[in-house]
Amino acid sequence: MTGIDYELFAIRYATREARRAAHFIGGDPHDGPMPMDYFMWVARGGGKTFVIDTGFNAEVSAKRQRHFLRCPVESLALLGIDPGAVEDVILTHLHYDHVGNFDRFPNARFHLQERELAYATGRYMRYPGLSHSFEVEDVCGILRLNYAGRVMFYNGDAELAPGLTVHAAGGHSAGLQFVRVRTRRGFVVLASDVTHFYENMAGGRPFTTAFHIGEMLEGFDRLLELAPSESHIVPGHDPLVMKLYPPPSAGLAGVVVRLDVPPSGTAPSRADYR
Ligand SMILES: [Zn+2]
């Protein structure tokens, strides 16, 4: 194959305890514990580094009672990345846990779906059930970055670099996008919140934070369409990701995993629900 194969990493920066019923619309017949992890992702190749989402900070973590493990931006150093040198940040959407540290990338431009900023500043934000997932200061910050010429907007699918594309899949948030990255094991699809857990997509059961359930279901189809197989799809918040993928080095176990190698076990898949 010609073209760039990217290295692809997930950094786990926070976690929280939760119940299964909290993660599926309509609840779950077998309720029990189902913790949620929080990640930042990095794609590196062809001399370029793309940071994908920017996590939240300690202050917001405390306010929302999350368990903050480490600052995701400071954790970039573990991969030899200086945030001040990062030129491209992809924001899958503007929920607090995906955009929180945007101000820590002073030299980056930010890649976002146009519909997401319209949603986050629009008519529906008067409803706490929808605005709860945003921090208004983050949204204001992105507005300011736009006035500074630092936000690149997309409507639907776009190629940001050879082998690296974004794809709109609203529903969870109106302007959510996911990222497809070419790696040595083929195209890997970083789903972000198109599917929080493997089980959301596998069972066709959308997550509880929802703007448009029909678009969420179509989002599952889009992930499957763009991935060579289900094992090439990486959900946005599933603790299983840390178990299925290896750390880049022994010292980074439990903190960083590499997603450009095949998973070492099986995750819940569509076949389990047929
Ligand atoms: Zn979200």
Look up tokens 């992702």; give the residue.
41
CA–CA gap between residue 184 and residue 84 (Å, rounded): 28
What span, in angstroms and rounded, lies between the C-alpha atoms of 31 and 38?
21
Q: Read off the pLDDT of residues 179-234 as tens digits, 9 standing for 90 and up.
A: 999 999 999 999 999 999 999 999 999 999 999 999 999 999 999 999 999 999 99
Ligand 1 centroid – CA 83 distance (Å): 23
Q: Give pLDDT, residue 3.
A: 74
| Cβ(138)–Cβ(59) below 8 Å | no
Checking DSSP bridges between strand 186-192 and strand 177-183, what pairing results, if any? Answer: antiparallel
Q: How far is the CA of 128 from the centre of ligand 1 (A)?
A: 15
CA of 173 to the centre of ligand 1 (A): 7
Closest CA to 52 of 131, 197, 160: 160
What does pTM read for this prediction? 0.97
Q: Among 202, 186, 204, 199, which residue's Cα sits nearest to residue 238?
A: 199
Domains and CATH numbers, the chain: 7-262 (3.60.15.10)
What is the identity of the amino acid at 101? N
Q: Which of 137, 152, 180 is nearest to 87 (CA)?
A: 152
Q: What's the CA-to-centroid distance between 73 and ligand 1, angstroms?
A: 19
Q: Tell me, what's the pLDDT at 116?
A: 98
Q: Where are the alpha helices (DSSP H) in 122-166?
A: 128-131, 136-147
How many angstroms separate the alpha carbon of residue 176 from the centre of ligand 1? Answer: 8
Closest C-alpha among 223, 221, 193, 220 to residue 208: 193
Give the pLDDT confidence of 18-71 residue by residue, as tens digits: 999 999 999 988 899 999 999 999 999 999 999 999 999 999 999 999 999 999
- Ligand 1 centroid vs 250 CA: distance in angstroms? 30
Whole-number Å distance, alpha carbon 67 to ligand 1 midpoint, is 17
Kindly give the distance from the C-alpha atom of residue 224 to the centroid of ligand 1, in angstroms, as a whole number.
Answer: 20
Distance 1 CA to ligand 1 centre (A): 35
Query: Distance from the CA of 86 to the center of ligand 1, in angstroms?
Result: 23
Instruction: Give the pLDDT confidence of 122-172 residue by residue, as tens digits.
Output: 999 999 999 999 999 999 999 999 999 999 999 999 999 999 999 999 999
Q: How many residues does the chain have?
A: 274
CA of 11 to the centre of ligand 1 (A): 17
Distance from the CA of 97 to the center of ligand 1, in angstroms?
Answer: 7
What is the per-residue pLDDT for 255? Answer: 97
Residues 6+ apart with CB under 8 A from 50: 42, 43, 44, 88, 89, 90, 160, 161, 164
pLDDT at position 2 is 58
Instruction: Tell me the C-alpha distance between 75 and 193, whole Å.
Output: 22
How do beta strands 158-161 and 151-154 pair? unpaired
Buried b (16+ CB within 10 A) or exposed e, 209-225: bbbeeebbeebbebbee
* CA 272–ligand 1 middle distance (angstroms): 25
Q: Enumerate the β-bridge partners of residue 89.
A: 51, 110
The rounded Å distance from CA 2 to ligand 1 centre is 34
Round to whole Å and give the CA distance between 73 and 56: 9
Please report the beta strands in the chain, taking only residues with DSSP state E, as ranges in sequence order.
7-16, 36-45, 48-52, 67-68, 88-90, 109-113, 151-154, 158-161, 164-168, 177-183, 186-192, 233-235, 256-258
| Separation of CA 154 and ligand 1 centre (Å) | 18
Ligand 1 centroid distance, CA of 41 (Å):
15
Which of 177, 188, 106 shows the shortest CA–CA distance to 141?
A: 106
